[in-house]
Amino acid sequence: MGSDANFRELSLRVRDGLRLYARHYPAPGSVRKPVLCLAGLTRNSRDFHDLATHLSQGPRARPVYTLDYRGRGKSDWDRNWKNYAVPVEALDVLDFLTFAELKEVAIIGTSRGGLVSMLMAAAQPSAISLIVLNDIGPVIERDGLMRIASYVGRVPLPRDWAEAANIARDVNKRSFPDIDERGWEEIARQLFNEKRGKPAPGYDPMLKNALSVLDGPVPELWPQFEALTRVPVLVVRGENSDILSEETVARMAERHAALEKFTVPNQGHAPFLKDRATQEAIAMFIQRIDSVEEALAAE
């Protein structure tokens, strides 16, 4: 285990022996509901640093954990790329909950993380108390998936951090037109690992094979979404998203009585959760659910 300014580094072995990396942002003295953040397909725990810092500090502080899936960030790569699958990753997350002794957590799932959350809710309902779905739902738009498939495992390794920032900008600028040069530099350091001061791969390129399902129709996941109807859900959608449509969000609200919605202006898939308005929307949603649960417990 290691530590940084406001987080501790964790390491665990999951059931098949791979070692996974995680971060713990402690909130000393807090008894509030813990939060677990799950990243998108090629992303990692660094994605949530700003949000985790916001949630774990101040008068409403609560502990936050972020996890690197197998093959991402600082976690081990899997020799069998077929294990880069949502069911396997859901089992890894359940192993992490046991490792960290977490119960009734609040899950913040970005894209792939939302799909993992749905499976977890079905497999172990008591482990989750609420879910924030960041730009993901039961219907995944094919155009957005094809865009993602066009670059996963195909982005060249940059020679330095300036080139890494340019790559991050070029891949994402249409969906995130408001991000400035400094912002792309920060995002590049989220996307890529660092080795000897230079960018290194942030994920196993074999992840591209896990997207071979795009050869056929994209299945709708309404049965998986039904597993969430027992817990409060906040859907965060990027205004420019090509993965989660407004129509799908409306259909989700029809099927889930305790669903709330928040739109991030002028961001696409998936919102980076760095702006204060989105951070506050998530913090207040979790706080409201805490207050309701406390009031019910006091009756």
Give tens-digit pLDDT for 6-52.
999 999 999 999 999 999 999 999 999 999 999 999 999 999 999 99
Name the burial class of residue 2, with classes exposed (0-12), middle (13-18) and buried (19+) by CB atoms within 10 angstroms of its CB: exposed
pLDDT class for 149, splitting at 50, 70, 90? confident
Please tell me the least confidently modeled range out of 110-119, 120-129, 227-236: 120-129
Question: For tokens 């987080």, what's the residue?
Answer: 7
Q: What pLDDT, on the 0 to 100 scale, is given for residue 292?
A: 77
Q: What pLDDT, on the 0 to 100 scale, is given for residue 125?
A: 87
Query: 75-108: per-residue pLDDT in tens?
Result: 999 999 999 999 999 999 999 999 999 999 999 9
Q: Is the pLDDT of residue 166 over 90?
A: yes
Q: What pLDDT, on the 0 to 100 scale, is given for residue 295?
A: 66
Q: Which segments of 47-85 does DSSP mark as H helices, in order? A: 49-56
Q: What pLDDT, on the 0 to 100 scale, is given for residue 282?
A: 98
What's the CA gap between 175 and 170, in Å, rounded? 10
Contacts of 209 (CB under 8 A, 6+ apart): 81, 82, 84, 153
Q: What is the pTM of this model?
A: 0.95
Q: What pLDDT, on the 0 to 100 scale, is given for residue 1?
A: 47
Q: What pLDDT, on the 0 to 100 scale, is given for residue 216?
A: 65
Superfamily of domain 2-153+218-298: Alpha/Beta hydrolase fold, catalytic domain (3.40.50.1820)
Please tell me the least confidently modeled range out of 139-143, 203-207, 212-216: 212-216
Mean pLDDT, rounded, of the chain:
93
Q: What are phi and psi of 235, to 5 degrees?
A: -100, 115
C-beta separation of 261 from 246 below 8 A: no
Q: Which segments of 219-267 does DSSP mark as H helices, in order? A: 222-226, 246-255
Q: Is the pLDDT of residue 222 over 80?
A: yes
Q: What pLDDT, on the 0 to 100 scale, is given for residue 218?
A: 76
DSSP for residue 236: E
* 182-193 mean pLDDT: 96
Q: Which residues pair with 66 in a beta bridge?
A: 23, 37
Query: 240-285: per-residue pLDDT in tens?
Result: 999 999 999 999 999 999 899 999 999 999 999 999 999 999 999 9
Instruction: Give the residue from 68, 62, 54, 64 showing the smallest Cα distance to 25.
Output: 64
Q: What pLDDT, on the 0 to 100 scale, is given for residue 297?
A: 64
Q: Is the pLDDT of residue 239 over 70?
A: yes
Domain definitions of the chain by residue range? 2-153+218-298, 154-202
